Structure 1
Amino acid sequence: MSDGQMAQMGAVQVAVIADSPQVRASLQALVETSPALRFVASAADAEMLADRLAGSVPDVIVIDVEPAASNAPQDGLDAGHAPSALVLLIDEADGDWILDALPGDAMAIVLRNAMPGEIVASIEAVAAGLDVMSPEILARLLAARKLPRQTAPEMPFEALTLREIEVLTMLADGLVNKEIARQLDISDNTVKSHLSSIFGKLGASNRTEAVMLGMRRGFIMV
């Protein structure tokens, strides 16, 4: 077996959903230029992609989200075909479905006009279990979340310790558990324990939501 074939076997399997044939072709070409990625299928919508996947589940699905979209673009995928990692290409982060989608698994929300290298890096990041959002998108999402909650009573929450604030700040900087452990000179298990406590105190269900809630409650600054 050649080195190229072995690399392809270990590559991240990527599928694409895009209404435009030109966008599908462009994203396919982008994936195929990266030796770390392997293109597996594309379709105009989630149901068609599920048919083309024929029971297999890719590692990451890249979804080109139409500007007028009102529902989460992965809604058409049943549990048997939905990966835990999604990359959404959008124009603006102003859809309500984006807020509903955030508590899910690894996800990247990237502007359509992002550089090709940024899209490839986002695919690789979510495949590794990370969340990716540009500062511009994060700021818009924070603003969108504040609006409907201004009239609602604030739910009580428990204050974070100084160490937990340190961990949360590093989380906001994009550091993974091993990097946090190294910088704070603590074990990976201790980092996981701090993250579990942070999630519980903030009422967050993943790393992205914890960062957003931490910013909203003043523990970390944008």
Structure 2
Amino acid sequence: MIRVMVVATSGVVRAGLSAVVTTNQLMTVVGSASDLDLLAREIGRLQPDVVLVDLGNNPQQSVWKKLLLLNEQQDPLGLIVMVEELDSIDLEAAMYSGIRGILPNSSTESEIVAAVEAIASGLVVLHPDAIELLYRREKVWNNPVQTLTTREIEVLVLLASGMGNKLIAKSLHISEHTVKFHLSSIFQKLGVSTRTEAVAVGVRLGLIML
């Protein structure tokens, strides 16, 4: 019997994930938690084989540090994280923290159950979209990028602070059209397709600091 613990801020999500797990006769839900701090307090007592964690739509860098600490304090955990947008997380940091599986929230019941089974067997599970993201980022990392201009770096810094195009334009005293032009150039030079990826690559290349 595979012992599973479910972690999610939303009670509805916890109930839904628990229901998915229990559709498989070889799995049982031994407990649930509303956050990682509660998980840390309960995990030693409940001794799950797999921990299914829903991170919602805003996973912070501190999450990976907490999960890494959990893995260091306990026997290696079968951690699966579910996120709303795969490109919103630092996949490298997630894997380094000891996570064994990464799935989008849109995963089907059969995908979730299959992931739990695989991780309980000692395997690593990555959704195809996560593998594609890693591949794209690896290409950027291993290939020289064109140098950003001073203005493009300024735009990237403001982008990293969470500003939208209108606020960036106001801050730099330029038009929104010019902001869009700079963003297009940044995306092309860094080999990315989203604002999140642009910031992540900019940090990795040392162009900006968070």
Tell me what 1:110 maps to.
103
Q: Percent of pairs identical after alignment?
A: 29
**Any residues of structure 2 matched to 1:133-172 within 5 Å, and which?**
133-151=126-144
- Paired positions, count: 142
For 1:101 and 1:59, the matched residues in 2 are separated by: 19
Q: Which of 44, 55, 78 is matched with 2:34 structurally?
A: 44
Give the gaps of 5 or more residues in structure 1: 1-10, 153-222
User: TM-score, length-normalised on structure 1?
Assistant: 0.56
Q: Which of 108, 123, 129 is matched with 2:122 structurally?
A: 129
For 2:48 and 2:76, the matched residues in 1 are separated by: 6
CA shift in 2, pair 1:17/1:81, >3 Å: farther
Q: Which of 4, 29, 35 is matched with 1:14 structurally?
A: 4
For 2:62 and 2:135, the matched residues in 1 are separated by: 18
Offset, 1:74: 5.3
For 1:67 and 1:32, the matched residues in 2 are separated by: 25
For 2:48 and 2:62, the matched residues in 1 are separated by: 18
Offset, 1:120: 0.5
User: TM-score, length-normalised on structure 2?
Assistant: 0.59
For 2:57 and 2:114, the matched residues in 1 are separated by: 23
Q: Which of 53, 70, 80 is matched with 1:63 structurally?
A: 53
Offset, 1:122: 0.3
For 1:89 and 1:96, the matched residues in 2 are separated by: 11
For 2:103 and 2:143, the matched residues in 1 are separated by: 27
Please list the CA deviations of residues 30-49 of structure 1 after superposition, one character each: whole Å capped at 9, or x if unmatched: 11221111111111111112
For 1:26 and 1:80, the matched residues in 2 are separated by: 29
For 1:53 and 1:130, the matched residues in 2 are separated by: 21
1:61 partner letter: V
Residue 45 of structure 2 aligns to a residue whose secondary structure is coil
For 1:88 and 1:65, the matched residues in 2 are separated by: 7
Offset, 1:20: 0.9
Tell me what 1:193 maps to.
none
Query: What is the RMSD computed on CA atoms of the aligned residues?
Result: 2.4
For 2:75 and 2:90, the matched residues in 1 are separated by: 17
Which 4+ stretches in 1 moved above 6 angstroms? none
Say if 2:65 is the partner of 1:91. Answer: no
Contact 1:41 1:49 in 2 (8 A): no
Offset, 1:54: 4.9
For 2:30 and 2:132, the matched residues in 1 are separated by: 34
